[in-house]
């Protein structure tokens, strides 16, 4: 609980902090990486370069400062971040480092006086305590599961499967040959790598694409010409290689009754968490309607078509529609379920808009905004729309 005086002081300084925003976060990160360069092994340095990480930290701090009296409003945001932190194996001592540099940054940039620094210090300690306790609980729960572990565990790459021109699947088994803990459909693992030639260790989250089998984890990765980790996985990783993985985590997972209708809506590699959801619906012999809507550039870039057809065929009530934004002559447009152009759900929403329908979105943020707008404009209850942004979270 934070006392009223502290809340009043922190709140009174929010406008100054917002005004100084980008300069403040730039100073903070520069300071922290200068003094504690070991943190470069944990932070995604690509997100540092494009500013996403800075924006995310700044937004999180402002959200916290604005809701000091009602922290429960931030419960789902806290859970999302805590889950992600566990895949980075964040430890309590790292909160002390961040807190130290945060206060030093406020002092150096704003020189607001000791009362203000003390108030921000107290508010930060409370927030850090919430994360530390939640993350400790997740670590403990992972450790206690059959096949669970804390931190990272060496896995052997057992298969590398080309799923489209740009997307490749990677299947891993624990290097010790032991079982691996289950996960919920939609959760991710994190890949930890530092191959020769990398300046820092890099950690990236990838959604788990298949059903838990107690022995393997499968992910799928789009090769990004500028992406350090995706290029390494595509171009260098070979079956037999040892790669370290974090335990599965994430708060975006399918949690529905067998009677709940489900629409899974994705673009590009955004389909990866939804593939696991589709698989779990088939495995659970889902009673209600299941719809698969997917956008890809063209047939060469349309991954997992076979897996979706195969899984969909096991479902009692299944429909599928696919859109190609840049179709090629060889693509069978307007035959079967493939259309040209961007995804347009308008013709489907009214027929699908069972009040119980749940909508699960994953893809580029702009795509999810585009689809969420179509849904909401056509009367879908926003509370039935679930989505995930990889990288720092955005509100649709």
Ligand X SMILES: NC(=O)C1=CN([C@@H]2O[C@H](COP(=O)(O)OP(=O)(O)OC[C@H]3O[C@@H](n4cnc5c(N)ncnc54)[C@H](OP(=O)(O)O)[C@@H]3O)[C@@H](O)[C@H]2O)C=CC1
Q: Which residues bind ligand X (CB under 6 A)?
A: 188, 207, 222, 267-270, 272-273, 295-297, 325-326, 342, 362-364, 366-367, 370, 388-391
Q: How far apart are the first and last CA of the chain?
A: 31
Contact 189/247 with Cβ under 8 angstroms? yes
Cβ 191 to ligand X shortest distance, Å = 13
For residue 117, give the nearest of 96, 98, 102, 97 by alpha carbon: 102
Q: Nearer Cβ to ligand X, position 217 or 370?
A: 370
| Minimal distance, residue 348 CB to ligand X, in Å | 16
SS3 220: strand
Count Cβ atoms within 10 A of the Cβ of residue 272 and give its class: 0-12 exposed, 13-18 middle, 19 or more buried.
buried
Active site residue 253: no
Residues near 94 by beta carbon (within 8 Å), at least 6 away in sequence: 39, 42
Handedness of CA 198, 201, 206, 210 (dihedral sign): positive
Kind plus residue range of the DSSP H or E element containing 87 = helix 75-87
What minimum distance in Å lies between the beta carbon of 61 and ligand X?
Answer: 23
Token representation of residue 151: 């931190």
CB 110 within 8 A of CB 20: yes
* CB neighbours of residue 83 within 10 Å: 20
Decide: helix, strand or coil at residue 325.
coil
Contact 246, 166 (CB under 8 A): no
Minimum CB distance to ligand X, residue 266 (Å): 8
Active-site entry in 29, 95, 206, 387:
95
Active-site annotation holds for 19: no
Encoding tokens for residue 351? 């027929």
Nearer to ligand X, 169 or 268 (CB): 268
Specify which residues 293 forms β-bridges with.
265, 321
User: Least distance (Å) from ligand X to the CB of residue 303?
Assistant: 9
Query: Per the residue annotation, which of 135, 163, 202, 297 is the catalytic one?
Result: 135
Q: Considering the complex, what minimum distance in angstroms separates the CB of residue 250 from ligand X?
A: 7
Minimum CB–partner distance for residue 15 and ligand X (Å) = 33
> CA separation (Å) from 48 to 33, 230, 240?
11, 17, 32
Q: Which is nearer to ligand X, 148 or 268 (CB)?
A: 268
The Cα–Cα gap between 87 and 82 comes to: 9
Q: Which is nearer to ligand X, 247 or 363 (CB)?
A: 363
So which residues are the catalytic ones? Answer: 95, 135
């Amino acid at each position: 609980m934070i006392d009223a005086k502290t809340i009043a002081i922190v709140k009174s300084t929010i406008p100054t902090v917002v005004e100084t925003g980008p300069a403040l976060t730039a100073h903070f990160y520069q300071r922290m990486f200068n003094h504690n360069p070991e943190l470069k092994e944990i932070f995604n340095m690509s997100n540092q370069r494009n500013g996403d990480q800075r924006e995310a930290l700044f937004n999180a701090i402002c959200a916290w400062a604005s809701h000091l009296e009602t922290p429960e409003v931030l419960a789902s945001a806290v859970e999302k971040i805590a889950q992600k932190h566990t895949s980075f194996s964040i430890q309590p001592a790292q909160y002390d480092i961040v807190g130290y540099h945060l206060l030093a940054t406020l002092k150096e940039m704003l020189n607001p006086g000791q009362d203000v620094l003390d108030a921000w210090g107290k508010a930060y300690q409370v927030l850090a305590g919430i994360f530390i306790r939640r993350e400790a609980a997740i670590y403990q729960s992972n450790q206690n599961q059959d096949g669970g572990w804390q931190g990272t565990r060496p896995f052997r790459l057992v298969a590398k499967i080309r799923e489209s021109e740009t997307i490749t699947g990677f299947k891993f088994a624990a290097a010790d040959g032991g079982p691996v803990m289950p996960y919920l459909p939609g959760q991710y693992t994190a890949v930890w790598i530092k191959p020769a030639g990398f300046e820092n260790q890099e950690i990236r989250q990838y959604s788990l694409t298949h059903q838990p089998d107690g022995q393997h984890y499968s992910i799928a990765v789009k090769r990004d010409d500028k992406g350090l980790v995706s290029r390494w996985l595509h171009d260098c990783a070979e079956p037999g290689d040892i790669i370290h993985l974090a335990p599965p985590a994430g708060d975006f997972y399918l949690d529905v009754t067998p009677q709940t209708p489900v629409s899974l809506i994705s673009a590009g590699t955004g389909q990866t968490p939804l593939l696991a959801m589709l698989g779990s619906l088939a495995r659970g012999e889902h009673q209600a309607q299941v719809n698969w809507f997917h956008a890809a550039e063209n047939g060469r870039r349309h991954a997992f078509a076979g897996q979706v057809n195969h899984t969909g065929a096991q479902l009692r009530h299944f429909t599928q529609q696919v859109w190609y934004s840049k179709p090629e002559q060889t693509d069978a447009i307007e035959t079967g379920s493939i259309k040209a152009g961007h995804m347009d759900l308008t013709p489907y929403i009214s027929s699908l808009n069972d009040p119980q329908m749940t909508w699960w979105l994953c893809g580029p943020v702009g795509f999810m905004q585009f689809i969420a707008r179509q849904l909401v404009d056509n009367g879908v209850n926003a509370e039935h729309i679930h989505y995930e942004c990889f990288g720092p979270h955005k509100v649709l």
